[in-house]
Structure 1
Amino acid sequence: MAVVAVMVVATEGGARGSERRDVRVMSYNIHHGEGADGRLDLDRIAGVIRSEKAEVVGLQEVDRFWRRSDFVDQVDYLAEELDMYAAYGANLDLPPDDPSQPRRRYGTAILSKYPIIESGNTFLPRLGTSEQRGLLEALIKVKGAPVRFYNTHLQHNSSEERALQVRAIMEHTKDVEGPQILVGDLNALPGAPELAPLYGRYDDAWTLGGEGPGYTIGAENPNRRIDYVFVTPDVAVRSASVPRTLASDHLPVVAELSVPRKAR
């Protein structure tokens, strides 16, 4: 009986494989390339992405032309270094640190081994003078399968503001058809009330595929999980992991996923 069971599973898996596409995704707050050891080294970030074989990546805290990150366009640098397509959402657009430099920009980025068909950044609500946050999205053809990939970074010091931002994300994505992947630094623990709406539409990849607490911050001695990969129910989660590295003050979240070739 055991042999028969194995053969059935293998056959069903082969049938499903013809209808699905595997993809390895990552969410990573890169702290503008400054590691937990205080060293600025964007090559370490690229090395983490490369070593984890991530194919679609959502990055938070990404600089363009800041003095603190040596005036590097971090999006272009990482895209070229990793040979990936890129999309960027500038949530801050400020005067240059140096008159000889372009304007400073700060926000989120999506890197992809697969073509980005379209992309856009939507500002999320904020209270008073707090930092502007956004929802960066991209339509990506993953081995021919269209996937909506979202990347965000929610407010760090206000649960009320995060609740507004989550509601805005839910409204923005409510009529989207086909598989969705939502990643980001949500600055809240899994049980935080403001995140509850997300669990009504999405599955937490760590809950389905990870082992242990999945802590992502701080990088040296992690003690909280605030970085996530969420997926719609049509996306299967094969595994999830949190690699250890000092390349940022956060640890990345990596998930091995399987998306349907066609929307049902």
Structure 2
Amino acid sequence: MAITALPNSRTEPDGSAVIRVLSYNIRSMRDDEDALARVIRACKPDLVFVQEAPRFFRWRKHAARLASKSELVVLTGGAPTTGPLLMCSLRATVERTEDVLLPLTPGLHRRGFATAVVRIAGARIGLLSCHLSLRADERYTQAGMVLERMRAMDVPYKIAAGDLNDRPAGRSFRRLTTELQDCWAVAPWGGENTWKQDDPHKRIDAIFATRSVEVLGCGVPLELPGITAADLRAATDHLPVLAALRMPAL
């Protein structure tokens, strides 16, 4: 059932944590950087899973500038993961981070994962930002590696998000849903399709969570205060995916 409003971040009286999670392919910040920051700020995320972060000359400076404009901090990733990056608000306490490079297929762009474990309001959460291959066989293998990494995180709650280069009916997308919730499918909110921003006709960006996480809503933020259609078109060539998730008290 579609919902009309996405819950704000908060800690519930029973100790459960509601967090807002954003996944966004930012095309190496080659478009309108100020519009990009406006979109991110308006989403009010606790956690941001970035794909195609800057990874060449002065990449740290560019990533830090975007985080500052978005009222966030850089968590991990970027050049060491060939693009995936994690940012977070000061609500998150960082336990550990790990940048993972995946095996190189000759002739193709090398891929990686930005991973971390954070605590928010007492909930320990494993994070993984990914950008899967354009080639179907390699993409399917990488989807399996996402699941392996998620299984290896010894935490009660886990979130993976990214640009899958695959639709929900595709083999790689479906492989992820064998163990993870597709948050849009569970609680659709806002828009569905994420590519391209000027004519969205494919859902290739998604947020996934383990079944221990309660999905309150997920989708493309089309009508949040501070976001205009012009901002979404100018920021990058993908549309963002925003989710509200509840981590039940343990």
Coarse TM-score class (shorter-chain normalised): 0.7 to 0.9
Consecutive unaligned residues in structure 2, runs of 5 or more: 1-11, 223-231
Is the contact made by 1:125 and 1:165 (CA closer than 8 Å) also made in structure 2?
Answer: no
Aligned residue among 147, 154, 161 for 2:138: 161
Aligned residue among 15, 30, 45 for 1:19: 15
Shift of 1:173: 2.2
Distance 1:212 1:63, change over 3 A: closer
Per-residue CA deviation, residues 14-35 of structure 1 (Å, 9 max, x unaligned), is xx7513100000100011123x
Q: Which residue of 1 aligns with 2:248?
A: 260
Percent identity among equivalent residues?
A: 29
Aligned residue among 243, 246, 249 for 2:221: 243
Aligned pairs for 1:140-179 within 5 A:
140-156=118-134, 158-177=135-154, 178-179=156-157
Aligned residue among 29, 42, 45 for 2:25: 29
Distance 1:72 1:135, change over 3 A: closer
Query: Could you say which structure has the greater relative contact order, defined with CA pairs below 8 angstroms and 6 or more residues apart?
Result: 2
Shift of 1:208: 0.9
Aligned pairs for 1:122-133 within 5 A:
122-133=100-111
TM, length-normalised to structure 1: 0.79
- SS of the residue corresponding to residue 48 of structure 1 reads helix
**One-letter amino acid of the counterpart of residue 15, structure 2:** E
Aligned pairs for 1:185-264 within 5 A:
185-211=163-189, 214-244=192-222, 245-246=232-233, 247-262=235-250
- The alignment of Structure 1 onto Structure 2 pairs a total of residues equal to 226
Q: Which residue of 2 aligns with 1:54?
A: 45
* Aligned-partner Cα distance in 2 for 1:185–1:170: 15
Is the contact made by 1:133 and 1:155 (CA closer than 8 Å) also made in structure 2?
Answer: yes
* Aligned-partner Cα distance in 2 for 1:202–1:78: 30
Moved more, 212-221 or 128-137: 212-221
Aligned pairs for 1:87-106 within 5 A:
87-90=75-78, 106=82
Shift of 1:204: 0.4
Distance 1:161 1:53, change over 3 A: same
**One-letter amino acid of the counterpart of residue 165, structure 1:** Q
Is the contact made by 1:91 and 1:133 (CA closer than 8 Å) also made in structure 2?
Answer: no
Is the contact made by 1:213 and 1:225 (CA closer than 8 Å) also made in structure 2?
Answer: no
* Aligned-partner Cα distance in 2 for 1:180–1:208: 16
Query: Which structure has the larger Rg over C-alpha atoms?
Result: 1
Consecutive unaligned residues in structure 1, runs of 5 or more: 1-15, 35-39, 93-104
Distance 1:168 1:91, change over 3 A: farther
**One-letter amino acid of the counterpart of residue 173, structure 2:** L
- SS of the residue corresponding to residue 62 of structure 1 reads coil
Distance 1:71 1:120, change over 3 A: closer
Is the contact made by 1:126 and 1:161 (CA closer than 8 Å) also made in structure 2?
Answer: no
Is the contact made by 2:51 and 2:83 (CA closer than 8 Å) also made in structure 1?
Answer: yes
* Aligned-partner Cα distance in 1 for 2:76–2:59: 17
